[in-house]
Amino acid sequence: MQSFVASSVEKSLNPTPRLQKFLNLLDRVADIRGASIPPIVDMEKLRTLPPGTFGRTWADFLDNHHLMPFTTGSRRKQLHDGVHVLTDYGTDPIGEAQVQAFLLGAKFSPMNMFLGLLLLQGIYKQQRRAKNPPLFSWGSLWQAYQQGCNARFDPDTWQPELLWNLPVTEVQALFNL
């Protein structure tokens, strides 16, 4: 995911300067608001869990996508990848837009609205440039939003660290996903 859209949300092992500036801005805002917390995701610990558990699935997700966990800033930022694991939305621009739509449905946040609009703008630009652009469906965003509305999920208060050892399917059922 090296497009503008992807780099606005996803982080790779070597983030682009634009992405790093954006992540630093998120951290500064979290610091100002008093919302910065210590790291939540410990990859070494998660890798030791049995396959199929929520924590191991999270670690495998990050490893398979060559991503590092967010370890700075707000709880919501650090747990972003867990939403991918719970919802099974991809890390491509459309998947990132679906995550933002899901989060908007679960609990409105201006930041999710802002990120969603940035992603849509990037998807539009990417599709205009591409010979074979990825299929984009407003219906998929609406479905993600509805899934968030129907979920028993609060992105500000959920505690995945208490759920690492549970089967991922059980965690999804817990949140009505």
At 43-72, the pLDDT tens digits run: 999 999 999 999 999 999 999 999 999 999
Please choose, from the candidates 161, 165, 177, the residue with its C-alpha nearest in 3D space to the C-alpha of residue 49: 165
How many degrees, rounded to 5, is the angle at CA 169 between CA 164 and CA 84?
70
Cα distances (Å, whole numbers) of residue 50 to 32, 46, 56:
38, 9, 6
pTM, two decimals, is 0.80
List pLDDT tens digits, range 121-134: 776 777 677 777 66
Task: Estimate to the nearest angstrom the gap between the alpha carbon of 90 and the chain centroid.
Answer: 9
What is the per-residue pLDDT for 2? 32
Question: With bands split at pLDDT 50, 70 and 90, how would you rate the model's confidence at 120?
Answer: confident
Give pLDDT tens digits for 3-41: 333 333 444 455 667 767 877 888 898 889 998 999 999
Q: Left (φ > 0), alpha (ψ -120 to 50) or beta: where does 52 sit?
A: left
Which residue type, as a one-letter code, is found at position 157? T
Contacts of 42 by beta carbon, 8 Å cutoff, 6+ apart = none
Residue with tokens 């999804």: 172
Cα torsion for 32, 99, 91, 2, to the nearest 10°? -50
